[in-house]
Amino acid sequence: MTASAWQRNLDGLDLDQAGSEIGEMLGADGSDLTARLIAGGRSNLTYGLTDGTNKWVLRRQPLGHVLPTAHDMAREFRVINALAPTEVPVPHAITLVEDASVIGSPFYLMDFVDGRSLRTLDEVSDWSEADGRACSNELVGVLASIHEVEPETVGLGDFGRPEGYMQRQVGRWAKQWDQNATAPLPQVDDLISRLQNSVPAHSDATIVHGDYRLDNTMIHPTDPGEVVAVVDWEMSTLGDPLADLGLLILYWGDVSGAIAAGAAPATSGPGFLSADEVAEAYSRRSGRDLDNIDFYTTFAHFKLAVILEGIHKRYLQGKTVGEGFAQIGSLVPLLVDSAQQIADSSSLPGLRARS
């Protein structure tokens, strides 16, 4: 999906109606504001705003079919604010608006960050091997930095319930599958059972992003080795940091990552670490062992399958904004099959055993 043209009114953001109020929040003339849908954002909607001189970003919930506890604007806004004084690069959050009457949904405003959101191999075709390696190491380092933040020191001590996090995550996404499913997929029940039987007994507790991957970061326009912002914090909480690593591995150049990106992923470019090397680099940086990594990568596939099924449901309802949604539904069984393949070959008995 490419960014739309600058317009006064878009699906989900009517500046003829809301421009004056939004302009006041930004210290700008609301009559000068135009917006465009930014590339990506198949969950919450992200718009660029400009008055012709300055730029900002607006985030709001998707149109229609919003699951309970999902797409929480206040949650995103809170964590970005909290992380501002840390080493984790985040945009400057301006204001949160929980009154849905302004644009039809709660939303928040933040400063525009000049950076590149990278998804496909074509977007890094001019990078050298040194660029790919620098980007890889930076992504691992930023993820470790997120997990190193002490929640209490930034006012996030009550941001989640880390005890029993993964057990609840399996249950939560199983429930959301039931709410999202547009067609029967019997192998999901087996996968859920295997995940429930293999939840690690012990885990660390840190801030987790919940959807950490290359295209949820902004890379410096000229320095591949610098992440200038981590974005899309809608699923952040306190929990098991290896859940973030499992999802990062999913997106990192394996078959399912390529499927989910819709093309060969940028991380398959020259110099990028392999998925195994990413895991090893994270383990070295964080000091965490990866004995149970198969559980986390299997869960990541399942979680993404549920997310994509929810997007597919919104597409069928005519509630998606932008392009690139028609094939989303076909990816769901492929992700579930990949999850089962990882589980089948795992050394973890509970994960390997079919129900």
The answer to whether 72 touches 225, Cβ cutoff 8 Å, is: no
| Alpha-carbon span 121 to 265, nearest angstrom | 5
What the block records as the tokens of 325 is: 């949604």
What the block records as the tokens of 83 is: 């992380």
Rg of the chain (C-alpha set): 20
Highest mean pLDDT among 60-64, 71-75, 135-139, 265-269: 135-139
Is residue 283 in a domain?
yes
CATH number of the domain encompassing residue 75: 3.30.200.20
Q: How confident is the model at residue 3 (pLDDT cuts 50, 70, 90)?
A: low
The answer to whether 262 touches 241, Cβ cutoff 8 Å, is: no
Query: Can you spell out the DSSP letters for 279-318?
Result: HHHHHHHH----TTHHHHHHHHHHHHHHHHHHHHHHHHTT
For residues 202 and 179, state if they share a domain. Answer: yes
Within 27-164, residue ranges assigned H as helices are 73-83, 129-148
Is residue 1 in a domain?
no
In which element (H, E) is residue 250 found? Answer: helix 241-251
Q: What is the mean pLDDT of the chain?
A: 91
What pLDDT is stored for residue 353 in this prediction? 82
Name every residue whose Cβ is closer than 8 Å to that of residue 87 and which is 6 or more positions away in sequence: 145
For residues 208 and 126, state if they share a domain. Answer: yes
What pLDDT is stored for residue 1 in this prediction? 43
Q: How confident is the model at residue 39 (pLDDT cuts 50, 70, 90)?
A: low
Domain end, chosen from 92, 111, 130, is at 111
Boundaries of domain holding 105: 9-111
Query: 10 Å Cβ neighbour count for 291?
Result: 10
Helix axes 165-180, 241-251, angle to 10 degrees: 50
What pLDDT is stored for residue 256 in this prediction? 53
Q: How confident is the model at residue 258 (pLDDT cuts 50, 70, 90)?
A: low
What pLDDT is stored for residue 219 in this prediction? 98
What pLDDT is stored for residue 315 in this prediction? 87
33 closest CA partner among 44, 48, 46 = 48
| 335, pLDDT greater than 80 | yes
For residues 59 and 194, state if they share a domain. Answer: no
For residues 216 and 333, state if they share a domain. Answer: yes
What pLDDT is stored for residue 318 in this prediction? 87
Mark residue 72 as left, alpha or beta (left: phi above 0; alpha: psi -120 to 50; beta: remaining). Answer: beta
Is residue 311 in a domain?
yes
Domain end, chosen from 93, 111, 129, is at 111
CATH number of the domain encompassing residue 341: 3.90.1200.10
| Alpha-carbon span 89 to 353, nearest angstrom | 41
Amino acid at 65: H
Q: What is the DSSP code (8-state) at residue 35?
A: E
**Mean pLDDT (whole number) for 57-86:** 82
| Alpha-carbon span 144 to 22, nearest angstrom | 36
What pLDDT is stored for residue 248 in this prediction? 96
| 188, pLDDT greater than 50 | yes
| 14, pLDDT greater than 80 | yes
211 closest CA partner among 148, 283, 137, 304 = 304
279 closest CA partner among 288, 271, 270 = 288
Q: What is the DSSP code (8-state) at residue 214?
A: G
| Alpha-carbon span 342 to 95, nearest angstrom | 43
Tell me the three state secondary structure of residue 229: strand
Tell me how far apart the terminal alpha carbons of the chain are, to the nearest angstrom.
39
For residues 125 and 65, state if they share a domain. Answer: no
Is residue 174 in a domain?
yes
| 260, pLDDT greater than 90 | no
For residues 278 and 235, state if they share a domain. Answer: yes
Residues in the chain: 355
What pLDDT is stored for residue 223 in this prediction? 98
More confident residue, 263 or 285: 285
| Dihedral angle sign, alpha carbons of residues 270, 209, 206, 191 | negative
| Alpha-carbon span 344 to 336, nearest angstrom | 12
Give me the number of domains the chain comprises: 2
What pLDDT is stored for residue 264 in this prediction? 83
List pLDDT tens digits, range 197-251.
Answer: 999 988 899 999 999 999 999 999 999 999 999 999 988 999 999 999 999 999 8
What pLDDT is stored for residue 71 in this prediction? 58
Domain end, chosen from 111, 136, 155, is at 111
Within 52-164, residue ranges assigned H as helices are 73-83, 129-148
Q: What's phi and psi for 90, nearest 5 deg? A: -135, 155
For residues 284 and 186, state if they share a domain. Answer: yes
List pLDDT tens digits, range 242-256.
Answer: 999 999 999 897 555
For residues 308 and 187, state if they share a domain. Answer: yes
Specify the range with the lowest mean pLDDT, choosing from 41-50, 80-89, 158-167.
Answer: 41-50
Is residue 301 in a domain?
yes
74 closest CA partner among 241, 311, 233, 310 = 233
